[in-house]
Structure 1
Amino acid sequence: MPQAAVPRFITARARWLAWLCALGALAAPVARFLPADKVQSLQWLVELPAHWQWLYLVVGATSLVLLMLSGRSGMGKGWLALPALAALVLGGVFLWQPATLPRGAEPADPGAVLTVGTANLNAATTDFGPLTDWLALADAPDVVFLQEFTELAQQALIRNPAVAARYPHRLAVPQPDPFGLAILSRHPLSGLQTLQPQDLRDTLRLRATLAWNGRAVHLSALHPMPPLDQGFAQARDRALVQEAQHLTAQPGGLALMSGDLNITPWARGLFAVDGSMRRANGMAPSWPNAFGWLSVLPLDHVLASSGWQVVGGGIGPDLGSDHRPVVVRLTAAP
């Protein structure tokens, strides 16, 4: 193949990839603006590709770099228009997300920081050594939300004396399916509630109140079904709204909702609760846990009421699951 054909081959495909990634990115705002009560199937279908914004950003940006490096050759007049437009779409849609908690300064008192973790354990997991090793660390989260919590996971936590001592307060509902839940806490829990599914599209939810630094922190744990069809997508969004409404109705002003929510920051469901619950974790993907480091979708979230500030956080260690845990460090806003 002549050398001159190689740049043209790359340029042509990079141009198509840049356009495809830009169109995929636009699925997110389009899905949010479609009236869900009138075009439910269309809204669901358009939202499915909207979740893959990290993929569009990485592939699209790589394609744009290749186009820029290839120069004007073979691109005709206005050759900068495509890269500029595609870059604007990719970057703009990626950053158009529900509001996040404001950043706060690290308090002088370590006890003024509440570290919160959430982890989907994968119901097929049988080796919980990585989980118990993580939870036994001195800097392990103060409160941990666990999904796909099975009886095997329950027994692993009970048999580990270090974990049992660190988390004496628990609300645990193991199940043989992927929808068991648990809340582990270093601080006292009260008002424990187990909400069983109301229909075939609903899933288990847990509620509790945490006593922390003389204040009540209201907790909701959930793991909605993935959006396999429009009904499951609506059930997921409905669960998020219901739990957000429940939390904001509680006295005290501090609340947390956490779990594998099977939703990304670009979907309608998180925008629906934006007025009452804000994302405490960043944009780092948590699923799938490929090779212990590569993930594409940010499905695991910690949502917090406006009375919090973020002082740190990130992705937790590899627990042998198909999800990576998410950890955030929070302090009460002054």
Structure 2
Amino acid sequence: MTVTPETAPDTPPAVEEKPRRPVQRVALRTAVVLTYAATVVGLLYTGMRVLGMEVTWPLRTLVSYTPYLTAAALLPPIAAALLRRPKLAAVAIAVPLSLATLLAPRFLADEQPTPGGPEITVATANMYFGEGDPAALVALVDEHAVDILSVQELTQAAVNGLDAAGLAERLPYRELGRVDGAVGAEASGVYSRFPLTRNPALEFEATFAMVGVTVEVPGAAPLELLGAHPGAPWAPSQVDFWLADLAQLPPATPDGAVRVIAGDLNSTLDHAALRDVLDRGYRDAAEEVGQGLTGTWQPRPHSKLSLFGITPPKVALDHVLVDERVAVLGVSYGDLPGADHDPVIARLTLPAE
């Protein structure tokens, strides 16, 4: 049948697209350029993190905040999708996915060995040049039934305060400060419920005085513990000291004494230097039980480490590292008023004697 003009259906007139205003065009182009730039920066950062190439001081600081940067890396792919740039969105989403893959082991618990020995609780606490509240630390020892306590930045006043708060009654055995017994803000200490002896073989010349001990835990194989406190890369001039300290941390001894390193390591698991330590036979207790993303250190408000008055979020600088024969049962975190670090408490099972 032929449709005549009189019977033809009405055709709606074509709608002409309104031309964008110059301001809108500029804003759109700017948004696209910024999204491309953010994607490129994200890809470069991801490559740096994967390859462990934080070779400059700013990167050594920035890499500590990888968990937060992973969340921020979701913005470019979202922006690209909103800007109708599907290819850019596909490339940009690779950044948060890659970084999330690196972070995944920290919130996934691992299967533990069955060493068959006694259970003990090891804790580490940085007292911020002795300003941490001694009574609060002793309360944590009571709350978690801590057997071995590694303390950093332990001044003589802090030692006296801990004694006054009753720590000596709970953990009667101790080794403090340098081998000559000197205690200062740069010193560390180890307190124990079990007999211990100084083990200088674990110690070395470092930025802070570290304390090595051999602990006699009933029913357990020999336990060697280093109360560790490497230097911090807080300025370019400190990076070499920090790297040297981490490089000298004693390796685990799979066929010898069980070794544990507990302290403020001034490093996160995103630092290649700390991953090198783990490669020498250790596992991070928090990561083993799926708590490896829990931050333990944050600079004080308005400190020199705050940027434009903004205090950076917490990062995980404090660790209990255990060798492959030790089972990690759980990890807890405490609050230490007056200090800028949160104590880390790890429940462990040691190999039998």
Alignment of 1:1-334 (within 5 A): 20-21=41-42, 23-32=44-53, 42=55, 44=57, 46-61=59-74, 63=75, 68=78, 72-78=81-87, 80-95=89-104, 102-104=110-112, 112-123=118-129, 125=131, 127-137=133-143, 139-161=144-166, 163-173=167-177, 175-177=183-185, 179-193=186-200, 198=205, 202-214=207-219, 215-228=221-234, 232-245=238-251, 247-248=252-253, 251-252=256-257, 254-273=258-277, 274-282=279-287, 283=292, 284-288=294-298, 295-332=313-350
> CA separation in 2, counterparts of 1:83 and 1:232?
35
Query: Contact between 1:31 and 1:43, CA under 8 Å: does it hold in 2?
Result: no
* Paired letter, 1:183: V
* Paired letter, 1:182: G
1:256 is displaced (CA, Å) by: 0.4
Q: Cα deviation per residue 1:60-118 (whole Å; 9 max; x = unaligned)?
A: 24x26xx54x7844233425414421222321343488xx99443899x9x83211111
Residues 106 and 30 of structure 1: CA distance in aligned 2, closer, same or farther (over 3 Å):
closer
Runs of 5+ consecutive residues of structure 2 not aligned to the other structure: 1-23, 302-311
Residues 43 and 92 of structure 1: CA distance in aligned 2, closer, same or farther (over 3 Å):
farther
1:288 is displaced (CA, Å) by: 0.6
Please report the TM-score for the alignment, with normalisation by the length of structure 1: 0.76
- Classify the secondary structure of the residue corresponding to 1:235: helix
Query: Contact between 1:126 and 1:152, CA under 8 Å: does it hold in 2?
Result: no
Partner in structure 1 of residue 8 of structure 2: none
Partner in structure 1 of residue 21 of structure 2: none
Partner in structure 1 of residue 13 of structure 2: none
Partner in structure 1 of residue 3 of structure 2: none
* Paired letter, 1:188: P
Please report the TM-score for the alignment, with normalisation by the length of structure 2: 0.72
Runs of 5+ consecutive residues of structure 1 not aligned to the other structure: 35-41
Query: After TM superposition, which residue ranges in structure 1, 4 or more long, deviate above 6 angstroms?
Result: 7-15, 194-197
1:331 is displaced (CA, Å) by: 1.0
Q: Percent of aligned positions with the same letter in both sequences?
A: 22
* Paired letter, 1:236: W
> CA separation in 2, counterparts of 1:106 and 1:266?
29
* Paired letter, 1:28: R
Query: Contact between 2:153 and 2:187, CA under 8 Å: does it hold in 1?
Result: yes
1:136 is displaced (CA, Å) by: 3.1
> CA separation in 2, counterparts of 1:101 and 1:240?
26
- Classify the secondary structure of the residue corresponding to 1:78: helix
- Classify the secondary structure of the residue corresponding to 1:212: coil
Q: Cα deviation per residue 1:273-316 (whole Å; 9 max; x = unaligned)?
A: 2132221223211111779xx94321111111111111111322
Residues 250 and 71 of structure 1: CA distance in aligned 2, closer, same or farther (over 3 Å):
closer
> CA separation in 1, counterparts of 2:146 and 2:225?
15
* Paired letter, 2:224: H
> CA separation in 1, counterparts of 2:46 and 2:202?
36
> CA separation in 2, counterparts of 1:196 and 1:307?
22
Is the radius of gyration larger for structure 1 or structure 2?
Answer: 2
How many equivalent pairs are there?
A: 306
Q: Cα deviation per residue 1:100-139 (whole Å; 9 max; x = unaligned)?
A: 99443899x9x832111111110161643322222233x2
- Classify the secondary structure of the residue corresponding to 1:112: strand
Q: Cα deviation per residue 1:313-334 (whole Å; 9 max; x = unaligned)?
A: 1322343311111111111358
* Paired letter, 1:148: E
1:148 is displaced (CA, Å) by: 0.8
Root-mean-square deviation (Å): 3.8
